[in-house]
Structure 1
Amino acid sequence: MLDTEQLASQNDEAAKQLETHPSQDFLIEVLAALALDGLSIPVTLTVGGILVCGETVGGKEYFQKTIDGLQTAASDANTKRLIQETVGQFLVPYENSSTLRIGYIHLKNVTYHSATTKDGIPNGSDAKPMWRGRLSQIDGFHFGRFSKD
């Protein structure tokens, strides 16, 4: 369960630095923390000139779905075991989210948009991918998904 007092304490310094260009936005950090407790919020993030749209998801779900996808693509049991052992290590920090230092945000059902694309950047399939981004690399955001309407 998310320790809101601890999160508020961690973000006190970030809130004080709003005028001095903090390394990551404390509100985006809160969104990532809420996702650890299962709250999925539609967002559009600006990262290096690209719009990344999706719904927030906790790191545990992100890594489990990544493992599942890689294992589906794997051709033999040994490779599947290796995927579970290596990528599965990244699940461990999410077992106790109250002590986790949040540095990444995870999204599901992701679409990408840029100034030169009309309907989004194709990802090579009809699947809506998962996405993991460093909070300190996000230039801006808004609640809700980007829509061309």
Structure 2
Amino acid sequence: MRNELVLKKDPILEFFVQAANNRGFTLDLTLQIEGCLITGTLMSAKDYFMDLSEGFEDSDDITQAISKQMASASEEAGKSGKEEANYIHLKHADIYYGDSNPIPQTGVRLWRGKLSEVEGFFLGRITNTS
């Protein structure tokens, strides 16, 4: 029986995520996950939750409560230090499936996914020329 190393996460991609979370590093990336291409700009977990919270600020009581929870999550993410990265966050994200147009096409495009689900990646973004 052979001992095989089974990687749950790509260590290079995890390094990029840790640099984003700890140092504010940004990088255009395209990820491959279950037949989809997800393209966008890497961002920190703190910035992700802060941007997400801002989307809920100007509404009713329930959405304002959600906004406060996201702002709190942003503060906690900013304190996390050198912990293992389990999620990746992208801004200006587009999702391509097959030869279709990207989803979504308008609005704030934040995306969060599990690092362990990423099958591959390349540096740079896909740009929609249509």
Runs (4+) of structure 1 moved beyond 4 Å? none
Richer in helix (by share) = 1
- How far off its partner does 1:121 sit? 2.5
Q: Report the counterpart of residue 45 of structure 1 in structure 2.
A: 31
Q: Does 1:23 align with 2:8?
A: yes
Task: List alignment gaps of at least 5 residues for structure 1.
Answer: 1-16
- How far off its partner does 1:82 sit? 1.1
State the AA in 2 paired with 1:121.
Answer: P
Q: Report the counterpart of residue 119 of structure 2 in structure 1.
A: 139
Task: List alignment gaps of at least 5 residues for structure 2.
Answer: none
8 Å Cα contact 2:29/2:125 also seen in 1: yes
Question: Do the aligned partners of residues 30 and 93 (structure 1) sit closer, same or farther apart at CA in structure 2, a change above 3 Å counting?
Answer: same
Q: Report the counterpart of residue 55 of structure 2 in structure 1.
A: 69
Q: Percent identity?
A: 25
8 Å Cα contact 2:52/2:67 also seen in 1: no
State the AA in 1 paired with 2:26.
Answer: S
- How far off its partner does 1:94 sit? 1.8
- How far off its partner does 1:71 sit? 2.0
Q: TM-score, normalised by structure 1?
A: 0.74
Correspondence list, 1:1-149, <5 A:
20-36=5-21, 37-72=23-58, 74=59, 76=60, 78-117=61-100, 120-123=101-104, 125-147=105-127
Q: Secondary structure at the match of 2:76?
A: helix
What RMSD over aligned residues (CA atoms) do the two structures have, in Å? 2.3
8 Å Cα contact 2:40/2:94 also seen in 1: yes
Q: TM-score, normalised by structure 2?
A: 0.83
- How far off its partner does 1:80 sit? 4.6
